[in-house]
Chain A
Amino acid sequence: MTQALLFKDIDEPNLADIAVYERRGGYEQLRKVLSMSQDAVLSELDASGLRGRGGAGFPAGRKASFLPKGDMDKYLVCNADESEPGTFKDRELMQKCPHALIEGIVIAARAGGINRAFIYIRGEYEEQAQILDRAIAQAYDAGYLGERILGSDVSVSLVLHRGAGAYICGEETGLLDSLEGKRGNPRLKPPFPAIEGLYGGPTLINNVETLMTMPQILRMGGNKYAELGVSGSSGTKIVSVSGHVQRPGNYEIELGIPSREIIYGLAGGPPPGRSVKLWFPGGSSAPVLTAEDLDVPYDFDSLAKAGSMLGSGAIIVVDDSTPVLDVALKTARFYRHESCGKCTPCREGTNWTVKMLERIEAGEATPMDLDIMASVQEQIIGNCLCVLGDAMAMPIGSMIAKFRGEFEKHMQRAQLTGASA
């Protein structure tokens, strides 16, 4: 059921200290990659089938192979912005095992032929940032970072950069602008960051969990790691379960187990007497699923086939005590607040969706408003530089499609009771 790779020693006291981490076998894989060729590291990552754990699920080995060869400055940016509602896995990983992240960063840097690395951590994670500050200083002192690591010809510098509170900075190009000291507005792609990213140089961007998995892959061997999980979704995943469950928290699972096993088995399901009404399988940006979908295997392809996505691996459970309208309003207001305002469909679409939901709540809406709202969602998707607008349109669209009856009933009731007066 639970399968512990990243979580194996996670509750070991003082694991954040370099001596304890080394005693547990830490930094052995870093030593190993120093003597491996770049291609050998890449092929291990490729063989593992590891898909990015941040949200998009792009194969990590392939992403690293996109960086051009050559002697220019190349950059690795660890995305530790973790602001997707419902997601809190990176927080726990960084807090308890920061050295595994540093080890993963050096491995990824080796795979991409990279010499400068940054961690972009969200500003709210100040406690974790201080733990990382200390861990980075320890790693420099021990010779695991810096010029000529452990006497090899590999050099990697690492700088921790704190954000200041903006969801959009978790979007990779918004993150790059923020790291360059600007407003975190996403950029037009292409050029993709692998070709032209941070300071105009080739840049590899990976999520915390993705990087922390890399030492495990090197330890087990890529092929062995690929045996975990299911075809197309290899390995383990830290799943953050929250909302109406009895044991909210992070659980490490082997990909492909039934979602019911996570929601009911691990997290204990909704409180007694309640049942699952809807759930977000991958953060609040994922289209919602219902109780009928509880047996869908929890992996990238199965969730996509069910009409949603694995995203960041954050399951938010909503039980039957909560009106769908409340969930829709919370979601839409969040995206309105976080839209950077660069693209019209997102800036206006998020604002008008909130306004229409408020009309429904106030009893001022007509059934036509539901159709208009649904069409607004369709017109946001695919029409912006980044997917923030889509990230509202997908869950809201799915709520209208799956709970239309409830929206209509609310409208009628609100009109009758004159809630708008």
Chain B
Amino acid sequence: MEKLPRWADLILIPAINLLIAFAISALVILAIGEDPVNAIRLMVSGALGSAYGWGYTLYYATNFIFTGLAVAVAFHASQFNIGGEGQATLGGLGVALVCLALPWPHWTLALLAASLGAALFGAAWAAIPAWLQAKRGSHIVITTIMFNFIGASLLNYILVNIMRPVGSMDPATARFPAGAKLPSLHDIPGLGLIFGKSTPANVTLFIALAACVAVWALIWHTRLGYQIRAFGKSEAAARYAGINPVKIIMVAMLISGALSGMMAINNVMGESERLVLNAVEGAGFIGIAVALMGRNHPFGVFLAAILFGFLYQGGAELALETAIPRELITVIQALVILFTGALDNMVRRPVERAFLRAGKEAQ
């Protein structure tokens, strides 16, 4: 069978997949007795219609860029990292330890150190599953799922028994010092007029964008990136070409874990300014949908993260204004994963056939 044109593979098929997912979501809204058109209008105005809405949309998108890139990098090495949730949880611990360690004199220093802490802890939490996959052949999907649960228990223990301030009942760390406070987009000269004071979007957005560029450069413009892609396409061929599989699995998973962990500078350092239980709130899993939708390309991940940021913020507004609960977003997320990921062939086969037929008729 002849190959599809590039535009069909990159734009047409994902667009059809998304359309099906959204169409079914609309049917679900109809089925619970609400008006889908009104729902979309509310979501758009709630998420994009005001500076406040945009602030939240970009805040969520920042989280999803990190977790989406994390899943994408692992996918390039044909590793399915479901452990973003746990890695981001541990990343939060890294951020909290760094932020509480010193009375930081300036946020830039704190940000630099906290980023390192987040990346290091996230990577460390990915390291064991990665090593077990590389050395012992333990299925990485299962081990990363297990590490999500172990990570949640570990953090629960640390917050309740170790890091909770004396006299506090809340399982959370103390508030971070003032020097570790990241400027929100409102505080940045020139953006202050656009973004409201109370929105959580902060400078981490720019780090996320830089991470997109860095991942793009790594995957397509370095020797390591080439090795990762080669290994992901065919392990046997990569091995024959002298690529060390243990090294590639380890490196790809460590980068993936570090990216997931770095999400914590946005939600822990930038927003809550202390570490609480369940701070990740499912963003690790949304990374899977984001990476699938973005076809594992940083630019695609960026667009998909914005879309999911919009869905998240829009969904929150929807829950306020109508009887539609926030869980609608979980359904949409599931449908996006289903149609862009698992049921991709359902659309791809007929499209391929149509192109083939069109190609024959043209001859």
State whether these chains interact.
no
- Residue positions of B touching A, CB distance < 8 A: none
Chain A residues in contact with chain B, CB under 8 A? none
